[in-house]
């Protein structure tokens, strides 16, 4: 059986979480899916590869191995809605973002079992890692790394900006750190927005607790910035350019937290 996640321990206060680039499916689940479902169209393609450089910055890296079609790690275990006015994609999806069925026929889903087997281990690791970082450094930083197709008509109108920063409307990260991250976005050649269509999912909202010295940011990248969206192939030229900006973003995140540690700690 494939491990639920892979983990690299760093030596800085930063944890980079990659919950949606997993491609694994349990054999019994894959057998119930149709061809579309098994093709995993809503994967955050190549995000783990894109962020490999973060290990060289001293970050810890946590990467989910199973697909979001098994269980969505960025949704609460009770499947409560994150956006009141937007269609919910679900804790254990039965359709793609485009509203197409991923199962060959109606399937009974044991949500509790999937939460226990796949959701809980990932979140236990996030919580334990952040607790250890806070104990070691006095504060902890969480960067939740995502990507999505530039256009998903069922979820939003038009085309997404390339860099979508989410801090749950300022509740998951201190303003001084957020401002430093946003300055990098604004100085780049990429279009960007703070707390636009993506304000941060469950991971950002649950673990980002500035009052407890844990600061969390979600970055949702429009996939045109680093890959070919039609083929889902990684574009090394695009990715290299984007990695330069991602490096500056993570450096600003860490540097500003360090320089303002006396202010941002509880």
Q: Give me the number of domains the chain comprises.
A: 1
Domain with residue 37: its CATH number is 3.40.630.40
Q: Which structural domain range is residue 158 located in?
A: 5-264
Long-range residue pairs from 240-248, CB within 8 A, at least 24 positions apart, any chain: 242/50, 242/190, 243/50, 243/53, 245/163, 245/184, 245/185, 245/188, 245/190, 246/50, 246/51, 246/53, 246/219, 247/53, 247/57, 248/184, 248/188
Residue 1, pLDDT > 60, answer no
Closest alpha carbon to 203 in 2, 55, 49, 44: 44
What's the pLDDT tens digit per position in 148-168?
A: 999 999 888 999 999 999 999
Is pTM beyond 0.75? Reply is yes
Residue 266, pLDDT > 50, answer no
pLDDT at 155: 87
What's the pLDDT tens digit per position in 202-235?
A: 999 999 999 999 999 999 999 999 999 999 999 9
Token pair recorded at residue 62: 């946590």
Residue 85, pLDDT > 70, answer no
pLDDT at 106: 80
The answer to whether the CB of 109 falls within 8 A of the CB of 95 is no
């Amino acid at each position: 059986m494939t491990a639920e996640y892979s983990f690299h321990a760093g030596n800085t206060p930063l944890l980079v979480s990659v919950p949606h680039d997993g491609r694994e499916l349990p054999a019994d689940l894959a057998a119930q899916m149709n061809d579309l479902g098994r093709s995993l169209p809503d994967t955050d393609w190549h995000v783990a590869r894109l962020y490999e450089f973060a290990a060289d910055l001293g970050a810890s890296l946590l990467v989910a191995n199973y697909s979001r079609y098994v269980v969505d790690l960025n949704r609460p275990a009770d499947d409560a809605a994150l956006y009141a006015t937007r269609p919910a994609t679900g804790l254990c999806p039965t359709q793609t973002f485009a509203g197409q069925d991923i199962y060959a026929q109606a399937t009974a889903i044991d949500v509790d079992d999937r939460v226990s087997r796949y959701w809980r281990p990932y979140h236990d690791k996030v919580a334990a890692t952040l607790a250890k970082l806070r104990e070691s450094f006095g504060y902890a930083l969480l960067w939740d790394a995502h990507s999505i197709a530039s256009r998903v008509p069922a979820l939003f109108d038009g085309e997404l900006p390339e860099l979508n920063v989410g801090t749950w409307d300022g509740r998951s990260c201190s303003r001084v750190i957020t401002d430093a991250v946003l300055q990098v976005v604004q100085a780049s050649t990429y279009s960007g927005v703070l707390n636009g269509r993506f304000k941060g999912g469950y991971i950002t909202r649950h673990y980002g607790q500035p009052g407890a010295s844990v600061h969390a940011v979600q970055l949702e990248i429009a996939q045109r910035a680093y890959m070919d969206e039609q083929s889902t192939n990684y574009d090394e030229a695009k990715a290299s350019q984007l990695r330069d900006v991602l490096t500056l973003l993570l450096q600003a995140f860490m540097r500003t937290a360090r320089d303002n540690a006396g202010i941002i700690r509880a």
